[in-house]
């Protein structure tokens, strides 16, 4: 399927001369040694540079906050090497201190099975990155713009628990990722076509389920604010 190269998938506006190739998911989510070793052919979408840039810090945060939960997989170890290198630089040290404080035994967050420790995260920043990825993949799959303000929700599945029953619809569907061991995604639409359920798998470890109604949905909930 061809993308409409004239539209920025982030803002829905026409592209002008300020065009940037945005990696979906972010390039640095693929560890640099894997990128070198396998000469990865990553998915990119054209965006305005300023649209893409506005996510940069949150993407770094996502990598540093969620990435260390996947050090027991090959692709997770690859990004850990990058994170460790980055930590030695001044900016990296600051990020590292912030992330370190997020490991706690008292709060809700992502459960780390072996250490029995919970990892907190800044839900706003994490959700911003997840939604950007889904909107990019939606644009790629359906060749349609998915507005940022579309109501949506997500959950990060805990590894020590059985995934909720409804999530099997998406978890058992066709794998769509180019390099599923690094990043994979799947999606299903409900019969009536208005509910989308997406599954994202980061570093063969962290499963996120995303729900939203199709941007064309005319159900009561979606049309209430029109
Ligand atoms: Zn834009
Ligand atoms: Zn709806």
Taking the centre of ligand 1 as the mean of its atom positions, its distance from the CA of residue 151, in whole angstroms, is 20
**0.85 exceeded by pTM:** yes
In this prediction, residues 66-74 reach a mean pLDDT of 91
CA 85, CA 105: separation in Å to the nearest integer? 27
Residue 181, both tokens: 């061991």
Q: Tell me how far the alpha carbon of residue 44 lies from the centroid of ligand 2, in angstroms.
A: 29
Question: Please, are residues 45 and 3 in contact by the beta-carbon 8 Å criterion?
Answer: yes
CB of 170 within 8 A of CB of 185?
A: no
1 pLDDT exceeds 50?
A: no
| Alpha helices in 88-183, H assignment, sequence order | 90-101, 123-142, 167-171
Length of the chain: 226
Q: What is the pLDDT of residues 149-167, one digit of tens each?
A: 999 999 998 777 788 888 8
What is the per-residue pLDDT across 25-54, written as a single tens digit (0 to 9) for each? 999 999 999 998 888 999 999 999 999 999
- Whether the pLDDT of residue 92 is over 80: the answer is no
CA of 48 to the centre of ligand 1 (A): 4
The ligand with the least distance to the CA atom of 211 is 2
Instruction: Please give the distance, rounded to the nearest whole angstrom, from the Cα atom of residue 136 to the centre of ligand 1.
Output: 12
CA of 107 to the centre of ligand 2 (A): 33
Residue with tokens 């359920």: 197
The whole-number pLDDT of residue 190 equals: 82
87 CA distance to ligand 1 centroid (A)? 31
**Backbone dihedral region for residue 27 (phi beyond 0: left; psi -120 to 50: alpha; all else: beta):** alpha
Closest ligand to Cα 10: 1
Nearest ligand, measured from the Cα of 220 = 2
pLDDT at 116 over 80: no
Ligand 1 centroid to Cα of residue 165, in Å, is 37
């Amino acid at each position: 399927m061809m993308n409409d190269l004239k539209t920025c998938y982030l803002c829905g506006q026409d592209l002008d001369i300020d065009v940037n190739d945005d990696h979906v998911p972010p390039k640095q989510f693929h560890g640099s040694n894997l990128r070198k070793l396998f000469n990865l052919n990553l998915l990119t979408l054209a965006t305005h540079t300023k649209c893409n840039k506005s996510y940069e810090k949150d993407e770094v945060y996502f990598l540093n906050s969620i990435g260390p939960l996947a050090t027991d997989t090959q692709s997770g170890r690859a990004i850990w090497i990058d994170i460790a290198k980055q930590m030695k630089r001044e900016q990296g040290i600051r990020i590292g201190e912030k992330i370190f404080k997020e490991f706690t035994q008292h709060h809700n967050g992502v459960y780390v099975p072996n250490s029995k420790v919970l990892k907190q995260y800044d839900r706003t920043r994490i959700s911003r990155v997840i939604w950007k990825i889904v909107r990019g993949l939606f644009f790629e799959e359906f060749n349609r713009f998915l507005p940022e303000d579309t109501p949506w929700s997500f959950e990060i599945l805990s590894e020590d628990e059985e995934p909720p029953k409804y999530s099997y619809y998406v978890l058992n569907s066709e794998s769509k990722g180019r390099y599923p061991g690094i990043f994979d995604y799947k999606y299903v639409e409900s019969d009536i076509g208005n509910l989308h359920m997406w599954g994202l798998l980061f570093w063969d470890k962290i499963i996120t389920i995303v729900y939203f109604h199709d941007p064309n949905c005319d159900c009561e909930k979606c049309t209430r604010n029109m």
